[in-house]
Structure 1
Amino acid sequence: MRLLQLTPKPPYPPKDGGAVGNAYFLEMWNLAGWSAFCLTMSTFKHPYDPTYPTPVPLEAVPVNTRPTPWGALQNLFSAEPYHVARFRSSAYQHALSKVLHTYQPDLIQVESPYLTPYITAVSIPAVYRMHNLEWQIWERHAAETSPLLRPYFRLQAERIRAYEAKSLFAYAGLLPISEKEADWAYQAGYRGPMETFPFGLEIEKYTAPPLGENPPRLGFLGGLDWLPNQQAVVWLLEKVWPAFRRRFPEAELSIAGRNCPRWLYRYADSHTHILGEVPNALEFFHRHEIFLSPLFSGSGIRIKLIEAFATGRAIVATSIAAESLTFQDGVHLHIADTPEAFLEAMSLLYADPVHRQQMGAAARQLAETHYDRKVLLPRLKAFYLRVLAS
Structure 2
Amino acid sequence: MSQPLEILFVSSFPASPPTFGAQRRIDGLMRSLSRRHRVSFVSLLPPDLDAERAERAMKEYCRDVVFVPWAEASGLPKRLAQLRSLVSIYSYERRYMNGPDLQLALGRLLRSRRFDLVSVETPFQAFSRLRQAPSGAPSPCVLIDAHNVEFDLARQYFEQSAGLARRLHHEVNWRKLQREELAAWRAVDGVAFTSPDDEARARALVPAIRSAIVPNGVDVEQFRPAPEVPPSGTRTIVFFGTMDYFPNLDAVRWLFREIWPLLSQRDPDLRLKIIGASPPSDVLAHQGPRVDIAGLVDDLQRHLVAADAIIVPLRVGGGTRLKILESLAMGKAVISTKLGAEGIAARSGEHLLIADEPKDFAEAVHRVLEDRSLARELGRKGRELVERRYAWSAIGEEMERFVYQVIEGAPGAARRAS
Structure 1 and Structure 2 fold alike (TM over 0.5)? yes
Are residues 1:98 and 2:104 paired? Answer: no
Are residues 1:197 and 2:201 paired? Answer: no
Distance 1:236 1:106 in 2: 46
Are residues 1:271 and 2:290 paired? Answer: yes
1:236–1:294 contact (8 Å) kept in structure 2: yes
- Match in the other structure for 1:49: 51
Paired residue for 2:67, among 60, 83, 93?
60
Once structures 1 and 2 are overlaid, which stretch shifts more, 78-87 or 152-161? Answer: 78-87
Paired residue for 2:177, among 156, 160, 166?
160
1:127–1:174 contact (8 Å) kept in structure 2: yes
Per-residue deviation, residues 86-138 of structure 1 (Å, max 9, x unmatched): 22322211221111111321111111111011146543111110100111221
Paired residue for 2:343, among 318, 324, 328?
324
Distance 1:205 1:70 in 2: 42
Structure 2 letter corresponding to 1:25: L
Distance 2:39 2:393 in 1: 19
Q: 1:26 to 1:377 in 2, by over 3 A?
A: closer
Paired residue for 1:108, among 89, 98, 118?
118
Structure 2 letter corresponding to 1:38: F
Distance 2:212 2:195 in 1: 9
Q: 1:147 to 1:70 in 2, by over 3 A?
A: closer
2:308–2:369 contact (8 Å) kept in structure 1: no
Distance 2:354 2:26 in 1: 28
Once structures 1 and 2 are overlaid, which stretch shifts more, 69-78 or 222-231? Answer: 69-78
2:332–2:379 contact (8 Å) kept in structure 1: yes
Q: 3-state DSSP class of the match of 1:267?
A: coil
Aligned length: 388
- Match in the other structure for 1:5: 9
Are residues 1:15 and 2:19 paired? Answer: yes
Q: 1:51 to 1:243 in 2, by over 3 A?
A: closer
Tell me the CA shift for residue 356 of structure 1: 0.8
Once structures 1 and 2 are overlaid, which stretch shifts more, 95-104 or 47-56? Answer: 47-56
- Match in the other structure for 1:179: 196
Distance 1:372 1:51 in 2: 26
Q: 1:65 to 1:234 in 2, by over 3 A?
A: closer
Aligned-residue Cα RMSD (Å) equals: 2.1
Structure 2 letter corresponding to 1:13: P
1:211–1:289 contact (8 Å) kept in structure 2: no
Distance 2:287 2:117 in 1: 50
Once structures 1 and 2 are overlaid, which stretch shifts more, 278-287 or 84-93? Answer: 84-93
Are residues 1:131 and 2:147 paired? Answer: yes
Tell me the CA shift for residue 190 of structure 1: 4.4
Paired residue for 1:86, among 90, 93, 96?
96
Tell me the CA shift for residue 211 of structure 1: 5.7
Tell me the CA shift for residue 50 of structure 1: 2.3
Distance 1:72 1:260 in 2: 22
Structure 2 letter corresponding to 1:124: P
1:211–1:357 contact (8 Å) kept in structure 2: no
Per-residue deviation, residues 51-101 of structure 1 (Å, max 9, x unmatched): 431221210113454364554344333332122122232221122111111
> Where does the alignment leave 5 or more consecutive residues of structure 2 unmatched?
133-138, 410-418
- Runs of 4+, deviation exceeding 4 Å: 67-70, 119-122, 210-216
Tell me the CA shift for residue 363 of structure 1: 0.7
Q: 3-state DSSP class of the match of 2:285?
A: helix
Identity %, equivalent residues? 22
- Match in the other structure for 1:345: 364
> Where does the alignment leave 5 or more consecutive residues of structure 1 unmatched?
none
Distance 2:18 2:71 in 1: 21
Per-residue deviation, residues 31-50 of structure 1 (Å, max 9, x unmatched): x3211110111235x64612
Tell me the CA shift for residue 359 of structure 1: 0.7
Tell me the CA shift for residue 350 of structure 1: 1.1
Paired residue for 1:380, among 391, 396, 399?
399
Distance 1:15 1:248 in 2: 32
Distance 1:273 1:380 in 2: 39
- Match in the other structure for 2:86: 76
Q: 3-state DSSP class of the match of 1:204?
A: coil
Tell me the CA shift for residue 6 of structure 1: 0.8
Q: 1:212 to 1:95 in 2, by over 3 A?
A: closer
- TM-score, structure 2 as length reference: 0.86
2:198–2:318 contact (8 Å) kept in structure 1: no
2:309–2:333 contact (8 Å) kept in structure 1: yes
Q: 3-state DSSP class of the match of 1:203?
A: coil
- TM-score, structure 1 as length reference: 0.92
Q: 3-state DSSP class of the match of 2:273?
A: strand
